[in-house]
Amino acid sequence: MPSRGLVISLPSYDKESNEYSANSSMEVVNNHADWSFVGKKPFGVLLLALMLLPLMIVIGIALAPFVFEGFGYVRSWSFTLFIMALFFNAAHVFGLQRKVFSMGTRALYIPFTLMIFFTCILFMFLYAFASLLSLISVFDSLKYSIRLIITYVIILGLNIALTYVCARICILLFRASPNSKVLLLSTVVIEGEKAVRMESMTSSNGGQFTPAAGTPMGMPPKQPDISAPRWDQKTFEGRAKHFFSTVNPFNILISSDDLEKSRKIVMDYKEGKFPDRLTVGELWKAKEAFDSAYHPETGDKMFILGRMSSQVPCNMILNGGLLTFRSNFPSVVFWHWLNQSFNAVVNYTNRSGDGASNQRLLTSYACATTGAVSTALFLNSLVKVGKSTYAAKLAISQVVLSRIAMAASTMVTVPLLMKLIENRKWFMRRKWLAAPIQTLIAGFTLAFSTPLGCAFFEQNASIYVANLEEKVRKDIEGRPNAPKVVYYNKGL
């Protein structure tokens, strides 16, 4: 007769078989402790940094000769993160992430991995804000003592480092999530140097808690077609899902080595070569990383600031600057020059096909940065979209509409929200919050408007041959088995 009470058991971990099995509830936690966890890369080292860096920030603020406004909040959430990270590290050192609670016929365990992911998401934004606040404080401290300057430079470095640590953990866990579904991280356990997906455990299966096999590629009846996007590009929903994965700002944190591994997996798969242990989920993750960093036509690795995954963080800073420093003439000139320079880089990086000559690129860049002239004019000379002028104009108009939608959402949302808060007493006493608040609002808005704007039109668009200019149409119709529809990459 099954027990109605709560039975607590600690599964042991066999590194040889890579399996977990539930033991007696009287097992001592120390027998399953992994004392080397904090030294293992990447997760052990990152979780240790997640604990030590906020503690150092708390100490730095406490030792500062003068505490600028706003750092009381930074100290509070840094201490909170320190306590949470201490708990996470202790849980993983003592093997509590593998501890199973059996209640009747159900087996439950604490989803530490999911908790860590959402904790890092929250604190990544908080420390991005704290980094901006620290940068402002560094400039404010220049008129005071050298000790104050050094203190806030160190605090700035710690905040930037902690933002990176949180972002790095998020990207690693996102890549480890089954089928890119974050909530399924509840089935994933961190083991220091890796994240392992576990099958659900029930009392009826003898208490086994083993790594899930995934979906081995081997020779499945139908292999995934990675030459096309994962989702149906004929629907807005499918295009939105595709661009949410491609434009994901976490993609810029993928290391060069990991990108090269993803490229090799994709290229080998196209040639019919792949490891037997490769799963469908791993294949699509490699494809998403490949698509985010390599040009779809030329196959070249794209400049990091020109990738679509850089759109959110870069435009977040640019829009924050444009909206904050709009009353000073030199500032207006600088931010518009910087914005148009970034746009020129993005336009060229995401061009359709091979690039133009250096002279034509320089001319286009000069036009863009000096006057922010008509996008269609300089794009038409910058980008080769094939031999059809009509298709080129159509592609440019679609890209322009998408870009307008991306920018308009931010330029409307930020002023409206700032209008709501600028008369608040807490804000009137802290006018310096305008820049970081506007930047964070812009970043949040762009995280959604960028992929949704890209999804307005298909990237590999189609056009009827009958709609092409006469010369091109006759050339196509004169070929054997002439198609009625042709395709072109409109660019992004």
Number of residues that this document lists for the chain = 492
As a whole number, mean pLDDT of residues 191-196 equals 74
pLDDT of amino acid 397: 77
Cis peptide before 42 (omega within 30 of 0): yes
What lies within 8 Å, CB to CB, of 99 at 6+ separation is 8, 9, 10, 11, 109, 110
The stretch 288-306 carries a mean pLDDT of: 81
Q: For 98-127, how does the pLDDT look when each residue is reduced to its tens digit (9 = 90+)?
A: 777 666 666 667 888 889 999 998 898 888
Rounded Cα–Cα distance for residues 340 and 335 (Å): 9
Mean pLDDT of 257-264: 86
The residue with tokens 């030590």 is: 52
Q: What is the percent of the chain with per-residue pLDDT over 90, rounded to a whole number? A: 8
pLDDT average, residue stretch 314-326: 77
**How does DSSP assign 271-336, residue by residue?**
TT---TT-BHHHHHHHHHHHHHHB-TTT-PBPPGGGSGGGHHHHHHHHHHHHHHS-SSHHHHHHHH
Residue 179 zone, left/alpha/beta (φ > 0; ψ -120 to 50; rest): left
Per DSSP bridges, beta strands 188-190 and 195-197 are: antiparallel
On the CB side of 82, CA atoms within 13 Å amount to 14
Model confidence over 381-400: pLDDT tens digits? Answer: 333 333 666 666 777 777 77
The model's pLDDT over 266-292, given as tens digits with 9 standing for 90+, comes to: 888 887 777 667 777 778 888 888 888
More confident residue, 289 or 8: 289
| Mean pLDDT (whole number) for 196-218 | 44
User: For 179-188, what is each residue's pLDDT tens digit?
Assistant: 667 788 888 8
The whole-number pLDDT of residue 382 equals 32
When the pLDDT of each residue in the chain is averaged and rounded to a whole number, the result is 72
In contact, 346 and 311? CB cutoff 8 Å? yes
* Stated pTM of the model: 0.51
% of the chain at pLDDT higher than 70: 70
Quote the pLDDT of residue 11.
43
